[in-house]
Amino acid sequence: MSSLVAVLVDGVAYGMLLFLSAVGLSVTLGLMRFINLAHGAFAMVGAYLAVVVVGAGLPFLLALPLVFVVVGIFGIAIERTAIRYLYRRSALEQVLFSIGLAFALGALANLIFGPQQQGILTPAWLTGRVALLGLEITSYRLFLIAMGAATAIALIYLFEHTLFGARIRAAVDNRRAAEGIGIQVERLFALTFGLGAALAGLGGALSVEMLGLDPAFALKYLTMLLMVVAIGGAGSIEGSLLAALGLGTVDALFKYLLPEAGGFVIFGLLVAVLLVKPAGLKGRVA
Amino acid sequence: MSALNPISHGGLSKPALSFNPITPLIFAALIASYFLFPNHLALATQILVLMIFALSYDLLQGHAGIVSLGHAVFLGLGAYGSAILARWGFTDPLFGLMAGASISALVALVLSPIVVRGSDFTRLLVTLGVASLIHEAANRMRDLTGGADGLADFEVAPLLGLFAFDFEGRTAFLYALIVFAFVYAALWRVTTSPFGLALRGIRENPRRMPAIGSPVARHLAVSYLLSGAIAGVGGALLAQTSRFASLDMLGFERSAEIVMVVTLGGTGHIAGVSIGAAAFGLVKDALSTVSPRYWQLGLGIVLMASVFLARGGIGGLIERFCRFGRRA
């Protein structure tokens, strides 16, 4: 019984990791309507950056905000130079551009760091175990759960209760009217895209410990992130949280109870949800 | 899709569907390569398979307007289908082609209800999800598919009982060339038929087509089925000529690759897509012998640039060239 609870904690921690990485994609996909298949690549950039700066001696906890800011700036730079011209183009062109970006970044990582797996040094207090309610839980898992919960609350607050959030929603619903009342949509979109990239980078940095890191990371991870967004419904923070936690726990449970089923259950779940609810659990109907 | 997207357009009025002078040139070049590069027939055969695969995906994306990130599934199913049947003793190559086509068509039939409905975004996700599912299934069923090692222990009987597959790959090349010619002709016929025009109509304006009595969902389902079947033929051909079937034949990278090939070739333009696939296959072979890393980097850069620069792809260039020739 207690091992089942431990598996569930594992699943929730994995789910929070997925949420952290996927929520930025949900925002670009759902609110900005840009199909960003390079999102996993942003996560990869964050992961490599974290490995490098932690390797150079920066404390893990300081590396995280650094990664957040640097990948965010990188995202804004890409948005300003290329992506802003693609908002009005077809889904296919967005797919092509972003896959191209993902391939190029993956190849660059391969050139710079080589094809081997990278590890990250996490501080001792994160690798230990904590006794909680009679259970031994890795403190890294607890840390992930806390990070995920804090990010979810912050994002829901940002999008639902601040002027920034209101402006974003206005700009998405009616760009022309939003511009008409003086909202600087261009700047708003650049910032939002940067926020999405920054979150991806943070998620990537946090995932090195659990998932490992190599140049194939960008595309491997992307499938999982797209599934979170698809099941949760693009553009909904709560949806992403629900879907990520659901996927995480289902994945952990089946790995524990029925290992042969493997990835099957997850993908089966995706197809089932999309059959019943094509827009996802909490999706806005386009 | 709005009229602002020339990449996804062949355009209804453009002569993209007409039998243009490029077609005989393509076949002349293919036949010539048999005599000019007798030592590279294996590569040429692989390129023919890529051309068939590209044409099959072009029917879907270029004509019906359905984007998919999982088309390699049908290539892989065809490859595994024919390889597994050959292991069971059904070694006749033509039978293998039929079987590959049937298996892929069957799976496409099952999937078509999910793919036909929904927006571009849900289609991308569903096709990606289903592809991951099938990839995982193939990986799990080690007894049947050989898992990560792939299948290599199967025989292929002589073609028509007469022409054995030789080490130089001459039979394989000519066989692939004939299959390609059939696929090319069949797709040319299909896309210029009323059905093909209806597909283009649906792609241009899915809301208006039902109003003129066009059964949109059924047309899209048929195109998906047909496209899957042709990809299955390509897969069977690939397995037979390379004596190998493996997981990467139905992996995500192949699916992503074919989206690029078709777009660079010029969606909706059969000759352009064929040339694009051939060029892609050659460049990929040349670059990946240098370094697979540089290949991926170059690929990424070309892709990003193509969205901004090469509108209409190679097919678009051909059209412009032909129009220029006519005017002069």
Minimal CA separation from B136 to chain A, in Å? 7
**Judging by DSSP bridges, how do beta strands A129-132 and A135-138 pair with one another?**
antiparallel
Q: Tell me how far apart the alpha carbons of residues A147 and A203 are, in angstroms, rounded to a whole number.
A: 10
Please give the Cα distance from B241 to B222 (Å, whole number): 29
What pLDDT does A123 receive?
77
Q: What is the mean pLDDT of chain B?
A: 80
Cβ–Cβ under 8 Å, residues B240 and B82: yes
Amino acid code (one letter) for B113: P
Residues 72..131 of B with a Cβ closer than 8 Å to A: which?
114, 117-122, 124-126, 128-130
Residue B296, Cα to own-chain centre: how many angstroms? 20
Q: What is the pTM of this model?
A: 0.81
Residue B143, chain A, CB below 8 Å: the answer is: no
Q: Closest chain B residue to A33 measured between Cα atoms?
A: B121
Mutant choice from B307, B308, B309 vs A, greatest count of A C-beta within 10 A? B307
pLDDT tens per residue across all 286 residues of chain A: 567 788 888 889 999 999 999 988 888 887 788 888 899 999 999 999 999 999 888 888 999 999 999 999 999 999 999 988 888 888 888 888 998 899 899 999 998 998 888 887 777 777 777 777 667 778 888 899 999 999 999 998 988 889 888 888 888 777 788 888 888 888 888 999 999 999 999 999 999 888 889 888 888 888 888 888 888 887 788 888 998 998 888 888 887 877 777 667 777 777 777 777 766 777 654 4
Angle of the B270-290 helix axis to the B252-265 helix axis, nearest 10: 130
Tell me what pLDDT residue B17 has. Answer: 47
Model confidence over B90-111: pLDDT tens digits? 778 888 898 989 999 998 888 8
Rounded Cα distance between B300 and B285, Å, is 16
* Inter-residue long-range contacts of B252-256, CB under 8 Å, 24+ positions, other chains counted: B252/A219, B252/A223, B252/B69, B252/B70, B252/B72, B252/B128, B252/B131, B252/B132, B252/B135, B253/A219, B254/B72, B254/B75, B254/B76, B255/B68, B255/B69, B255/B70, B255/B71, B255/B72, B255/B73, B255/B127, B255/B128, B255/B131, B256/A99, B256/B69
Which of A85, A99, A277 to mutate against chain B (most B CBs within 10 Å)?
A99
B300 touches chain A (CB under 8 A): yes
Residue B72 tokens, joined: 């390699």
Site from B8, B121, B301, B309 to mutate, A interface, most A CB atoms within 10 angstroms: B121
Residue A7 to residue A23: CA distance in whole angstroms: 24
Which H helix or E strand runs over B16?
A: none
Instruction: Please state the separation of Cα A221 from the chain's center in Å.
Output: 9
Q: Do B125 and A103 touch (CB under 8 A)?
A: no
The DSSP line for A50-71 is: HHHHHHTT--HHHHHHHHHHHH
Tokens describing residue B276: 């694009």
Q: How many CB atoms lie within 10 A of CB A210?
A: 14
Q: How far apart are alpha carbons A22 and A36 in whole angstroms?
A: 11
Chain A residues whose CB is inside 8 A of the B121 CB are 29, 35, 91, 234, 286
Q: Do A267 and B297 touch (CB under 8 A)?
A: no
Q: Which residues of B touch A219 (CB under 8 A)?
A: 252-253
Q: Using the predicted structure, report yes or no on whether residue B13 has a pLDDT greater than 80.
A: no
Interface of B with A in 211-230 (CB under 8 A): none
Q: Is-contact B165 B172, C-beta < 8 A?
A: yes
Contacts of A84 in chain B (CB under 8 A): none
Distance of CA A7 to the CA centre of its chain: 22
Pick from A194, A279, A284, A207: which is nearest to A248 by CA? Answer: A207
Instruction: Provide the shortest C-alpha distance from residue A92 to chain B (in Å).
Output: 7
If pLDDT is split at 50, 70 and 90, which confidence band does B78 have?
very high
Find, among A256, A252, A232, the residue nearest to A242 by Cα: A232
Does the CB of B310 have a partner CB in chain A at under 8 Å? Answer: no
- pLDDT for B288: 79
Residues 6 or more apart from A93 whose CB is under 8 A from it?
A: A86, B5, B7, B8, B307
Which residue do the tokens 């460049």 mark? B283
B307 vs A contacts (CB less than 8 Å)? 86, 89, 93, 96-97, 100
pLDDT for the residue numbered B2: 38
Query: Bridge partners of A110?
Result: none
Q: Do B297 and A260 touch (CB under 8 A)?
A: no
Residues B296 and B314: their CA atoms lie apart, in Å, by 21
* Chain segment B243-278, per-residue pLDDT in tens: 888 888 888 888 888 888 888 887 778 888 888 888
Residue B148: how many CB atoms within 10 A of its CB? 11
Q: What is the DSSP letter of A283?
A: P
Which of A104, A230, A267 minimises the CB distance to B300? A104
List the Cα angle A63/A68/A73 in 5-degree steps: 125
- Yes or no: say if A138 and A129 are a contact pair by the CB < 8 Å rule: yes
Which chain A residues are closer than 8 Å to B7 by Cβ?
89-90, 92-93
Model pLDDT for residues B191-219, shown as the tens digit of each residue: 888 878 888 888 877 777 777 777 777 88
Q: Alpha-carbon distance A154 to A159, whole Å?
A: 9
Residue B283: what residue type? Answer: V
Q: How far is A108 from chain B (nearest CA, A)?
A: 7
Rounded distance, CA B33 to CA A286, Å?
50
Reported ipTM: 0.77
Closest CA to B109 of B232, B267, B199, B214: B232
Look at A128 and B234; give whichever has higher pLDDT. B234
Among B9, B141, B296, the strongest candidate for a mutation testing the A interface, having the largest count of A CBs within 10 A, is B296
Query: What residues pair up with A129 in beta bridges, in sequence order?
Result: A138
Q: pLDDT digits over B19-29, tens only?
A: 567 888 887 78
Q: Do A90 and B1 touch (CB under 8 A)?
A: yes
Question: A19-40: buried (b, 16+ CB within 10 Å) or exposed (e) per residue?
Answer: bbbbbbbbbbbbbbbbbbbbbb
Q: Which residues of A touch B (CB under 8 A)?
A: 29, 35, 82, 85-86, 88-93, 95-97, 99-108, 110-111, 219, 223, 226-227, 230, 234, 260, 262-264, 267-268, 270-271, 274-275, 278-279, 286
Residue of B14, B66, B24, B312 lying closest to B185 (CA atoms): B24
Nearest to B128 among A89, A93, A226 (CB): A226
pLDDT of residue A278: 67
Res. B18: pLDDT tops 60 = no
Q: Please give the average per-residue pLDDT across B280-290, as a whole number.
A: 83
Chain B interface, mutation test: which of A94, A108, A267, most B Cβ atoms within 10 Å? A267
Residues of chain B with pLDDT > 70, as a percent, come to 90
- Chain-chain contact of A278 with B118 (C-beta, under 8 angstroms): yes
Per CB-CB distance under 8 Å, the chain A contacts of B1 are: 90
Nearest CB to B133: which of A103, A107, A271? Answer: A271
What's the pLDDT tens digit per position in B3-12?
A: 334 444 444 4
CB B78 within 8 Å of CB B104: yes
Higher-scoring residue by pLDDT: A85, B162: A85
User: What is the structure's pLDDT at B326?
Assistant: 61
pLDDT by residue (tens digit) across B115-140? 887 777 778 877 887 888 888 888 88
* B225-264 core/surface letters (b: 16 or more CB in 10 A; e: else): bbbbbbbbbbbbbbbbbbbbbbbebbbbebbbbbbbbbbb
Closest chain B residue to A233, measured at CA: B122
d(CA B86, CA B100): 11
Cα pseudo-dihedral A215, A216, A219, A224, rounded to 10 = -110
Cross-chain residue pair A110–B300, CB shorter than 8 Å? no
Asked whether the CA dihedral B313, B316, B320, B325 is positive or negative, the reply is positive
